[in-house]
């Protein structure tokens, strides 16, 4: 819709006054029903250009004086008109017209405003009340659009957070699969070895059972009994039962250790991946740190020595998988920043008001202009295709939704340190971020 149409809807076709019309006649015209909605009437010259406005207030000032109508009623209306009325072109947008009128308007409001075409010819009047109603309607429409945009933005933000979380999880799955392969490998080997040892033991058991049958059967010949004894002796020598017990115990112990490692990885992956509900949990942040370290182990073990200094922490209300996501992202960034083999130091502590997490790496560090933009959405220092630029901005949003703060300090050649502060309120509803 063209912007001029909004002002056209405010246009009131009011017959203009001639410059030589008397004050008394103008007063009589303002008393007619068709003019009762107007505060003033326009005065236009013979060329159709507006000369001014005469207001009800100006007329009242005259007629309230003793003999005012008799003394001045025959005078031309131009004597009491406002020669500098508010004049607005119909080509002006509603917003610009509102700025222009409110900028020049005098209070109390005693006049309307003149509407002209692009050539400056008089077209009609507009009232301030109609303008305010039009602006109110326009603002209401824009508020509706903004509310929808905000709703869509929040939905998109939630989808981005979940997508980034799933992308991080996808990267970790390969690492976890590698971590699972090691214990799975020796569990499989142990089971195969136990199967081989068990086969010899089963043969010994069968040979001994046949020997017992021969000994119990009165019809058994000496030759058959001798053969049964010989087979049992061969089976016993092959099985070596005096050594088998220790070997089997060691194999079972190793197998249980491998299964425990697998179970630990599966539980850690499950804890990391679960979707939190609106109600937060009371958790120990140290557990979140350990969970993130477990999931990131394949990425960190060949890149950095992890040094843990975890203090005694109170339980705090948080969404644990969201905090896991933050810590995992920071861990991955830390090891990516390290050239060769380095160190990552993780500390946790608490005071009366908050729980703190510090994560410092011995990487290459960042310039000040990079640090200033590190939490901006889509900002990344990684090569094209290796980073979305959403990780740290999502970390910032998650920590912010928990009522916390995240800060970064870094210098080139001196590594980077992230500090997270999470408040210690009572368990409360948290805005979901993922």
CATH number at residue 34: 3.10.580.10
Do 295 and 256 share a domain, yes or no? no
How much is the pLDDT for 2? 40
Please give the model's pTM, rounded to 2 decimal places.
Answer: 0.50
Which of 126, 147, 177 represents a domain boundary (last residue)?
126
Do 417 and 285 share a domain, yes or no? yes
Structural domain includes residue 304: yes
| Total tally of structural domains belonging to the chain | 3
Angle at 162 between CA 161 and CA 168, to 5 degrees: 90
Structural domain includes residue 430: no
Structural domain includes residue 169: yes
Do 166 and 196 share a domain, yes or no? yes
Cα separation, 58 vs 35, whole angstroms = 16
Chunked mean pLDDT (size 10), the chain, 434 residues: 64 89 88 88 91 89 81 87 89 85 79 89 88 85 90 79 66 67 78 75 74 78 77 71 71 82 73 52 88 83 90 89 86 88 94 93 89 78 56 86 92 92 65 44
Sheet holding 122-126, edge to edge: 87-89, 113-116, 122-126
Domain that includes residue 248, residue range: 160-272
How much is the pLDDT for 4? 47
Do 358 and 325 share a domain, yes or no? yes
Do 287 and 419 share a domain, yes or no? yes
Structure tokens, 10? 């405010």
CATH number at residue 356: 3.30.565.10
Structural domain includes residue 150: no
Question: With contact defined as beta carbons under 8 Å apart, do 379 and 397 qualify?
Answer: no
Residue 162, classed as helix, strand or coil, is helix
Structure tokens, 339? 């050239």
Do 286 and 304 share a domain, yes or no? yes
Do 119 and 14 share a domain, yes or no? yes
Structural domain includes residue 134: no
Do 287 and 383 share a domain, yes or no? yes
Cα separation, 179 vs 115, whole angstroms = 78
Do 51 and 175 share a domain, yes or no? no
Which of 247, 272, 297 represents a domain boundary (last residue)?
272
């Amino acid at each position: 819709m063209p912007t001029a149409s909004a002002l056209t809807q405010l246009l009131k076709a009011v017959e203009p006054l001639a410059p030589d019309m008397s004050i008394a006649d103008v007063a009589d015209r303002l008393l007619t029903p068709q003019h009762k909605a107007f505060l003033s009437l326009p005065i236009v010259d013979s060329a159709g250009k507006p000369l001014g406005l005469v207001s009800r207030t100006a007329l009242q000032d005259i007629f309230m004086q003793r003999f005012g109508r008799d003394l001045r009623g025959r005078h031309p209306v131009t004597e009491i008109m406002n020669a500098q009325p508010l004049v607005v072109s119909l080509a002006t947008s509603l917003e610009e017209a509102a700025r222009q009128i409110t900028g020049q308007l005098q209070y109390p409001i005693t006049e309307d405003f003149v509407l002209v075409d692009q050539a400056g010819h008089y077209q009609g009047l507009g009232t301030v009340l109609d303008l305010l109603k039009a602006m109110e309607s326009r603002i209401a429409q824009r508020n509706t659009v903004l509310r929808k945009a905000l709703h869509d933005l929040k939905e998109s933000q939630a989808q981005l957070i979940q997508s980034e979380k799933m992308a991080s999880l996808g990267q970790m799955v390969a690492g976890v699969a590698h971590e699972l392969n090691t214990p799975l490998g020796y569990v499989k080997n142990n089971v195969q070895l136990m199967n081989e040892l068990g086969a010899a033991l089963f043969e010994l058991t069968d040979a001994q059972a046949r020997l017992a049958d021969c000994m119990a059967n009165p019809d058994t010949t000496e030759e058959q009994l001798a053969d049964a004894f010989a087979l049992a002796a061969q089976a016993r020598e092959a099985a070596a039962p005096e050594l088998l017990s220790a070997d089997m115990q060691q194999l079972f112990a190793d197998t249980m250790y491998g299964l425990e490692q697998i179970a630990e990885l599966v539980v850690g992956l499950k804890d990391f991946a679960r979707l939190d509900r609106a109600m937060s949990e009371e958790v120990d942040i140290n557990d979140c740190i350990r969970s993130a370290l477990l999931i990131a182990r394949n990425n960190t073990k060949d890149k950095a020595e992890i040094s843990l200094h975890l203090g005694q922490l109170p339980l705090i209300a948080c969404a644990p998988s969201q905090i896991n996501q933050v810590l995992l992202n920071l861990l991955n960034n830390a090891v990516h920043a390290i050239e060769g083999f380095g160190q990552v130091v993780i500390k946790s502590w608490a005071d009366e008001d908050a729980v703190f997490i510090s994560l410092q790496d011995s990487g290459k560090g960042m310039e000040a202009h990079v640090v200033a933009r590190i939490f901006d959405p889509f900002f990344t220092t990684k090569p094209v295709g290796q980073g979305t630029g959403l990780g740290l901005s999502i970390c910032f949003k998650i920590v912010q939704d928990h009522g916390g703060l995240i800060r970064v300090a870094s210098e080139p050649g001196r590594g980077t340190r992230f500090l997270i502060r999470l408040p210690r309120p009572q368990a409360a509803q948290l805005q979901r971020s993922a």
